[in-house]
Amino acid sequence: MASEHFFSEAISPWMQEGPGPEGDIALSTRIRLARNIEQYPFPVFASEEASATLLRYASSTLLNQSEKVGSLEALNMNELRPNERQVLVEKHLVSPYLIKNTEHSAVLLNNDESISIMVNEEDHLRLQCLSNGMQLEECYNEADRLDDWAEANLTYAFDERLGYLTSCPTNVGTGMRASVMVHLPALVWTNQLSRILPAIHQLGLVVRGIYGEGSEALGNLFQISNQMTLGKSEKDIIEDLRGVVMQVIQRERHARESLLISSRVKLEDRVFRSYGILAYSRTMTTKEAANRLSDVRLGIDLDLIKGISGNILNELMLLTQPGFLEQYAGESLTQEEADIRRANVIRERIKLEL
């Protein structure tokens, strides 16, 4: 199966290039553009027939011209097993919304998984570009190139006054959501994040969990993204987000330094307890695994734990998610079976580092 690598590898090729700028805290950057095709009803209002027609039209048109942006492969949601769809969500290649509406939806992916085009999500197209570390400008430039290519082959729904038209009014305008995934354990431990969040929201930005709106912030991982798409240019949105994220990164670094000075023994105890639990436990829930991995990643970043790659958080956060566990097991798992397998996966992965 040509598409098997999308489900079998936890780490996308673009993630293997290294931590990227500010990579001790900023794990990844994403730019997502919401676009609709003129003269087709929005997906939320479309009939089954209209949705099927749009899927065939958009997918075939883009695939036929894909050599200009690199080879693309189409995955139809209704042809995938449930755990395969879940794996795509866990790798951030599709949204949770897309896999809930599988009948006439698809995703187009390039080989290194840095480009993802969702078809018939909340909008006709969701064009997404991913990169490692803090690379908002670079990621936007790639998304802009992808957008120009798609617009050269499809006619977008666009209004001269409002901008790009979308299903949800909050996306009208640029249709752009820019986000940075950050690891903020020290701000969480010191209860500073709860004081920072209101200020971030007042600036028109939003902080969400690892899978976006409505998701939990597992392992002290948060997405910081713009909330406004109307009335600002793409450049302004990028600059505003970059400024806030850099402030958050600096505060996290300061909180880490403060912990090393004022609570080093407690910090080391927490980090090494988590390391020991990960290395020897026989059963572990998703939430506990995420929190323990966060502790260990912090210990690696602060040079308390030596000889283990910092990429362990990125890799095991994916490998221990429910979809991946069932993918590797080749069968459905009960909660108890998943917890046992999760602990096994973590133990084996840590042994490889020793």
* 72 strand-pairing partners: 110
Asked if residue 29 belongs to a known ligand binding site, the reply is yes
By CB atoms closer than 10 A (0-12, 13-18, 19+), residue 219 is buried
Asked if residue 349 belongs to a known ligand binding site, the reply is no
Amino acid at 278: L
CA distance 306 to 150: 46
* Contact by Cβ (8 Å): 319, 272: no
CA distance 242 to 244: 6
Longest dimension (CA), the chain: 64
Asked if residue 126 belongs to a known ligand binding site, the reply is yes
Asked if residue 30 belongs to a known ligand binding site, the reply is yes
Asked if residue 346 belongs to a known ligand binding site, the reply is no
Three-state SS at 317: helix
CA distance 285 to 21: 32
Asked if residue 173 belongs to a known ligand binding site, the reply is no
Scored b (16 or more CB within 10 A) or e, 107-123 reads bbbbeebbbbbbbbbbb
How, if at all, do strands 106-110 and 72-76 pair? antiparallel
Asked if residue 32 belongs to a known ligand binding site, the reply is yes
Asked if residue 213 belongs to a known ligand binding site, the reply is yes
Asked if residue 40 belongs to a known ligand binding site, the reply is no
Asked if residue 31 belongs to a known ligand binding site, the reply is yes
Amino acid at 170: T
Asked if residue 178 belongs to a known ligand binding site, the reply is yes
Asked if residue 177 belongs to a known ligand binding site, the reply is yes
The string of DSSP letters for 65-124 reads: TGGGT--EEEEEGGGS-HHHHHHHHHTTSS-HHHHHS-TT-EEEEETTS-EEEEESSSSS
Asked if residue 211 belongs to a known ligand binding site, the reply is yes
Asked if residue 124 belongs to a known ligand binding site, the reply is no
Asked if residue 281 belongs to a known ligand binding site, the reply is no
Asked if residue 210 belongs to a known ligand binding site, the reply is yes
Asked if residue 92 belongs to a known ligand binding site, the reply is yes
CA distance 168 to 177: 13
- CA-based nearest residue to 71, from 13, 157, 155, 132: 13
* Residue showing tokens 């007042």: 202
CA dihedral of residues 203, 204, 209, 214 (deg, nearest 10):
140
Asked if residue 251 belongs to a known ligand binding site, the reply is no
* Contact by Cβ (8 Å): 313, 296: yes
Q: Which residues are annotated as a binding site?
A: 28-32, 92, 126, 177-181, 208-213
Q: Which residues are annotated as a binding site for ATP?
A: 28-32, 92, 126, 177-181, 208-213
